[in-house]
Amino acid sequence: MSSLPPGILLILGALAVPFLRGHVRAAWMLLLPVLSYLHMQGLPADHETSATLFDLTLNPVRVDATSMVWGIVFHIATALSVIYALHSKDSVQMVAGLMYAGAAIGAVFAGDLITLFVYWELTAITSVFLIWARRTERAYKVGLRYLIIQVGSGVILLAGVILHYSKTGSVFFEQLAGNNGVSLADAGLGVQLIFLAFGIKAAFPLLHNWLQDAYPEATVVGTVFLSAFTTKLAIYALFRGFPGTEILIPIGAAMTLFPIFFAVIENDLRRVLAYSLNNQLGFMVVGIGIGTQLALNGTAAHAFAHIIYKGLLFMAMGAVLYRTGTIKASELGGLYKSMPWTTAFCIVGSLSIAGFPFFSGFISKSMVLYAGADGHMLLLSIALLIASAGVVDHSGIKIPFFAFFAHDSGKRVEEAPLNMRIAMGIAAALCLLLGFGPGMNMLYGILPYQEALKGYHPWTTSHVLFSLQLLLFAALAFAILYRRGIYPPELRATNLDTDWTYRKGLPAVVRWLGRGIGGIDAAVRAQSTALIAGVVRKTRAHHVPATGMLGEPWTVGRTALWAAILLIVCLLMAFV
């Protein structure tokens, strides 16, 4: 069993799901994450397997502290997603979700770039069915765009791996640039392409639009699966390959800031969460860019906590969509009366993402903030504080407020199905468990750099007071803006992001150029046709019998004359 890669049980076990029914199918789906987790935990520490393929030395399985952090939380996310999905009878979603999770788990244990590429593409191919499973024309188009970008990321990754192999002769997945003394600029085109492929999947600025385009269009269950794996796999890849790469610091800072504006004005609450996801990824990217052991620990801890509380928020909004048929803030409100459990769970997720004391975000995000301040990065610290206040607004307050409170929409629906409430309840309990005491120590105990934690204590008086000041003043600002009517109203509208350039702008330019080129083409064709017709008419006229020059046989004298002329021309040409 030690030679089998983690996650393979999920991939193979998913194939049996369409053939099972009722309680047997539910039991099998619940059993798969447990078996996969036990298999992963049964692997020896610092374990590595090797194989040879076409003279390439591959390492399909590599177990270390870093891969175990992502492996553990990916299994937790898989189990929660499966519980949340038990009410669904759609085999497409279940098979796609389990295989997608298995591929992501396999990828974080891949010890070489070829194995990583295989799992990288498998996550793209399986996850798109979580969008198409919604079975609408819009979902089909969105899924195609998502697939093109995700597979394109894999193609760029493969090109980078080939160039890197041609330069180094190795495909081992190790640190490629950063604080190992190799700058990204000097690492070579292969490493730069690998970095770009990771950046696409991590939703770097201007490469991020696939996230906000695709996640809100997936099924209720599909969005929960999607929120856990794709982007966090990219964060793991950056963590492994590019720690200490300084360009990641401004990239991550931009990621934390630009989604705030879009999240504030967005009406679709699942799209708000997608922008919020982008914002939280920025904190992780910053931690990788700083590259110290404490910052890397903060990235790993924040990724762990984020997968759980973001999944909880997507579960809550999925339950609202499932019961009401809409997720537009302008059409919701007052649902706390009929969905009290979902409301409570959503508030726990919101407090966690906001970093409120006693919740998981408080003990994970603060590590990255502390690492930035410890490095005397003043501008970065200011940017991260602004981003933290923005999170309080768009995810800590806006999501629960407009979905469950605000104006009463008059909707009276049933509470979320029992399996959804169980999944949300477990996720909420984890958000609280990880926030302090034994749960916090358990999370800190699996982080990869234990030495760096000895001087770090999140529960200091100054940290608690500072966090409360930030959170409460951000909440006060929201209340004042909302009461005075200054806060952007929730309107039925389509907000354009930078994807307008290739979804609307570029097609318009192509159509304009097409019309211009089409006109030129038509004119050239007409002139060419007229010229050819004229030549044909002239040629035909010379071949008409009795009147044309070539219409009758020539006399012997004329033939001899022209033969002599041609001979003289040939002699002159040969002489010249």
d(CA 492, CA 498): 20
Distances, alpha carbon 348 to alpha carbons 144, 395, 398, in Å: 35, 11, 14
pLDDT tens-digit map of 498-536: 777 777 777 888 888 888 888 888 888 888 888 888 888
8 A C-beta contact, residue 231 and residue 164: no
| Assigned token pair, 504 | 């609307």
Residues of the chain short of pLDDT 70, as ranges, are 1-2, 376, 490-491, 493, 542-552, 554
Q: What is the pLDDT of residue 420?
A: 96
C-alpha R_g of the chain: 31
- Buried residues in 238-259 as b, exposed as e (16+ CB within 10 A): bbbbbbbbebbbbbbbbbbbbb
- State pTM to two decimals: 0.87
Distance, CA of 383 to chain centre: 23
Nearest CA-CA partner of 57 in 103, 3, 111, 8: 111
What pLDDT was estimated at residue 547?
Answer: 62
pLDDT tens digits, one per residue of 417-456: 999 999 999 999 999 999 988 999 999 999 999 998 888 8
Beta bridge partners, 178, equal: none
Collapsing DSSP to helix, strand or coil, 205 comes out as coil
Three-state SS annotation for 118-150: HHHHHHHHHHCHHHHCCCCHHHHHHHHHHHHHH
The predicted pLDDT at position 148 comes to: 94
Tens-digit pLDDT profile for residues 549-564: 666 676 788 788 888 8
